Amino acid sequence: MGRDDFGEFAKFAFSEYGHRVKHWITVNEPYESSLGGYDTAEKAPGRCSKYINEKCVGGDSGHEVYTLSHNLLLAHAEAVQEFRKCAKCKDGNIGIVRSPMWFKPYEKKSSSEEIVKRALDFTLGW
């Protein structure tokens, strides 16, 4: 699958259904599919490094998870560009679905609050 394939798919979907669908989602929870599929191997395709999970038969948790994440965000951007060009979609909305997680500091200390900020940036600040 080439880089422009998702944009072409989105363009087709918008041209066929843009007059009927008003709320569009490009990618559902990219953090979860990236982490689960290419870091911890809890989800398909089950790739990870041996130091993460002994059952892994292939993968590089320190690299592949970021490659997939990058490509999912590029696909999202391609779809949004096509959506903005779609005349039939003018009254609609488009977005990406982020994972519904949140963090709170364990203690009321500035160091705890910095750790929470870093965790939020790392998981939601894509």
Cα–Cα distance measured from residue 39 to residue 48, given in angstroms and rounded to the nearest whole number: 5
Given the residues 16, 29, 54, 82, select the one marked as catalytic: 29
| Residue 29 is a catalytic residue | yes
Helices of type H across the chain: 5-17, 30-38, 64-85, 110-124
Contact predicate 34/65, CB 8 Å: yes
**Percentage of the chain surpassing pLDDT 70?**
97
- Judged against a pLDDT cut of 90, whether residue 8 lies above it is answered with yes
Contact predicate 14/22, CB 8 Å: no
Q: What's the structural domain count of the chain?
A: 1
For range 12-41, the mean pLDDT: 94
- Judged against a pLDDT cut of 70, whether residue 126 lies above it is answered with no
Which structural domain range is residue 115 located in?
5-124
pTM value surpassing 0.85: no
| pLDDT, averaged across the chain | 90
Specify the pLDDT at position 115: 86
HSE-CB of 61 using CA atoms within 13 angstroms: 16
